[in-house]
Structure 1
Amino acid sequence: MLVGEAEHWWRGTHHMLTARGVVVDWECFRRVFLEKYFPESVRHAKEAEFMRLHQGGMTVSEYAMRFEHLARFYSQAISEAWKCRKFAEGLKHELKRVVVPMAIIEFPALVEKAKVVERLEGGNRVTRAAEGPAGSKKGGNQRKPYDRPQPQQGSPVIRQPSSTTSGGRQGGGVTLRCYRCAGPHFIRDCPHTESRCFRCH
């Protein structure tokens, strides 16, 4: 609704147009109003901004308000279906991929649907952030199946027994004895040259 000076201007303009036989409809009013209150350079700048408009960091409500404000400066007639397509294509990707396939051709219904999807996506982001990366648990110390456990400080280290030990004993508890003198050495190393059997002594 026009008030003040704008209302006075429109009354005079409306009377002049009807006297000329011009059909005064919305498009006629829009054209003469923009010519009166918005210079051509401003209208062109607003129209260019409208064509480039995307949601970006705005909420759906903020985007819809900006969209409708700039749509008034578009120089061509806008159908409801075209308006819906233009709005949907400017939504964020996570909203657009849900809303566009619905092919909604009523602008108020489209805006409300986009708001619903926005709320759902916001809830999903909060849930994913609380859960953390997939497969991880808070405070967990998970070990990969191929990791070898490292010995802790103070743990006993078990060593394999050597093949021979002092006293002529070999690994496995076998006693080494000479068949000549019964000494702890091989017969080839025996210091006794005479032949005798230790079994007989």
Structure 2
Amino acid sequence: MASWLPETLFEIVGQGPAPSKDYYQMLITRSQVIFRWWKISLRSGYQSTKPGEVKESHEDFLENSHLQIQIALVFGARILDYVFNLCEGRIDFLERLSDNLLMVIISYLDIEDIASLSLTSHRFSKLCTSDKLWEPIVEATREITPAMKALAQDQGWRQTFFTKKLQLRKKKRNPENQETLLVQGVI
């Protein structure tokens, strides 16, 4: 299954923690961890400093606590954990799927499952609340008038879906509306 993975599994760039102006890059390939840095300083003693690079195999990286500390300082503990997982062969294949493919998969979930999935990561939160997902859901549940479409494009399709559901629940609670809703086949 790993054969379809790209050569570069992960890449991140960033600046060192303040007051540093140093610039860092980290690449995780299928076989190596590559950590690069560029010293940025106006001090005359550091102006001729050349960029640096460390290349380690995944196994060697797992043993190199000095490099691990550097990565944690520059990119944070969360990124270090992710790099550990990659080096140990624990690759999140779901994370590697395209947004379009994930949208197709998510569209088969129940509303409650979409809500749960949206809590798992920033990426899934963005996908689970996107208009691209909710427009077909709204269109499948009711007839869309041009006025509703304009409102949905203004408010968002997800908001329109839940607003309509709340309005229907209010109508169901009102005994005067129950007979009308029964006749219309809504309840």
Q: TM-score range by the shorter chain?
A: 0.3 to 0.5
Q: TM-score, normalised by structure 1?
A: 0.32
As a proportion of its length, which structure holds more strand? 2
As a proportion of its length, which structure holds more helix? 2
